[in-house]
Amino acid sequence: MAEKVKCLIIGSGPAGYTAAVYAARAELAPVLYTGAEMGGQLMITTDVENYPGYPDGVMGPQMMEDFRKQAARFGTDIRMGVIKEVDFTGPIHKAIADDGTEILADSIIISTGASAKWLGIESEQKFMNKGVSACAVCDGFFFKGLDVALVGAGDTAAEEATYLAKLCPTVHMFVRRDEMRASKIMQERVKNTENIIIHWNTSTEEILGNEEVEGVRVVNNKTGEKKEIPVKGFFVAIGHKPNTDMFKGWLDMDETGYLICKPDTAKTNIEGVFASGDARDKVYRQAVTAAGTGCMAALDAERYLTEKGLI
C-alpha cells in the first residue's frame, strides 16, 4: 500500500537537509530519502573554509553530519534509500524507492545534486578502482608515497591536487588550456606547492598499464607532442553532471540536465514539485547557495500546500 506524505525531499546534501529543516519547522512532516551518497558531494571534500558560521573551517563530512542532526532535531523522517522512479501525472505525485516503497506526496523537493564526470576514454573504465578515481579525498590514501596524475583545472582539481601533494612525492596536473578555471586563491595554492607539476595545454590520451595503472600518455594540444609519464594513480576532477535523469520527460531541464525553475523561485514546470541545490544550479554550485535554494524550495512548498488547502 502506498504511503501518503505532505512533503518528500529527495537528496541529502546541503540543499536537501536545509529544505528539511525548514519543512519540518513548518510542520510539513517531511520524509527525506538520502540517495546512495548520504551527505552528497561534501562527504568527499576535506576543509570547507567558505561556509559562513565556521570561522575555523570545517571538514565536509562533519558539516553534513551537523546538517543531518539539525534536520533530524525538528523531526524529519530521514531514510537511507534511493528514489528510483517518479510519476508526476496526477495532482498527487508518486515516487518509488529502491526497496519498493511507493510514496504519494503532495509536494516534492528535488535535491539530488550532481555527480563526477569522466573523460570517456576506454582505459579509464578498464582501471576504474584499480588506480583510477574521481575522488582524491576518498582514495588518495591508497597512493601514499607514489606518484600520481590528476586531470582538471577547476576548484575541485586544485583542491584535490593540493590534497594529493601532501601524500604523494609528485602530482602531475594536466590542464587542457593555458589557464586554470579555479579561483585565484586555489590556483596560487597549487602553483606554490613544489611537488605539483602543472602540464599546460595537455590532454590525456590513454592510461597505461596491465593489471594496474603504471603511467599515462598525454599529448600537448598546441605542439602535438606526446609523452608517457609513470604514475600509479590517475584522478579525474573535471566537473559534474546533475543527477536528474529520473526527471527526464517530466521536468524542464537544459541540455546538460540542470533543472529549470521559474525565475526567483524553486518552482519547476510541475505544480508542487520544487528544485534545489546543484540539480538546478550550474553557475554557483556552492554549499551555501545549495542551502539557500533548499530553503527557497521548502518555503515555496509550504506556500503551495497552504494555497491548495493541503495543510
- 153 sits near ligand NDP (criterion: CB under 6 A): yes
Residue 29 main-chain phi, psi, to 5 deg: 45, 55
**Shortest CB 302 distance to ligand NDP, Å:** 29
Q: Does 176 bind ligand NDP (CB under 6 A)?
A: yes
- Does position 157 interact with ligand NDP (CB under 6 A)? The reply is yes
| Helical packing angle, 14-25 and 287-307, nearest 10° | 40
Query: How many chain residues interact with ligand NDP (CB under 6 A)?
Result: 17
- Closest by Cα among 101, 3, 73, 84 to 36: 84
Whether residue 168 lies in the annotated active site: no
For residue 307, give the C-alpha cell: 494555497
| Closest approach of ligand NDP to the CB of residue 29, in Å | 33
Establish whether 138 is a catalytic residue: yes
Round to whole Å and give the CA distance between 272 and 279: 17
Measured between alpha carbons, how far is 240 from 203 in angstroms, rounded to an integer? Answer: 18
Closer residue to ligand NDP, CB minimum distance, 215 or 272? 215
Class of residue 73 by CB neighbours under 10 A (exposed 0-12, middle 13-18, buried 19+): exposed
Cβ proximity to ligand NDP: between 106 and 155 the closer is: 155
Element (H, E) at 126: helix 122-126
Catalytic residue among 7, 106, 139, 295: 139
* Residue 50 interacts with ligand NDP (CB under 6 A): yes or no: yes
Residue 204 grid cell = 590525456
Distance CA(70)–CA(122), nearest Å, equals 43
Residue numbers 265-294 binding ligand NDP by CB under 6 A: 285
Please enumerate in sequence order all residues whose Cβ is within 8 A of that of 196, keeping only pairs 6 or more positions apart, or say none.
161, 162, 165, 171, 173, 190
- 257 interacts with ligand NDP by CB under 6 A: no
Residue ranges in 108-127 that form contacts with ligand NDP under rule CB under 6 A: 119
Q: Based on the residue annotation, tell me whether 252 is a catalytic residue of this protein.
A: no
The label of the residue with cell 571534500 reads 45
Cβ closest to ligand NDP, residue 8 vs residue 279: 279
Asked if 242 is part of the footprint of ligand NDP (rule: CB under 6 A), the reply reads: no
Which residue of the set 138, 245, 252, 254 is catalytic? 138
Nearer to ligand NDP, 113 or 152 (CB): 152
**Contact positions vs ligand NDP (CB under 6 A):** 50, 119, 151-157, 159, 176-177, 181, 238-240, 285
Residues with catalytic annotation?
A: 135, 138-139
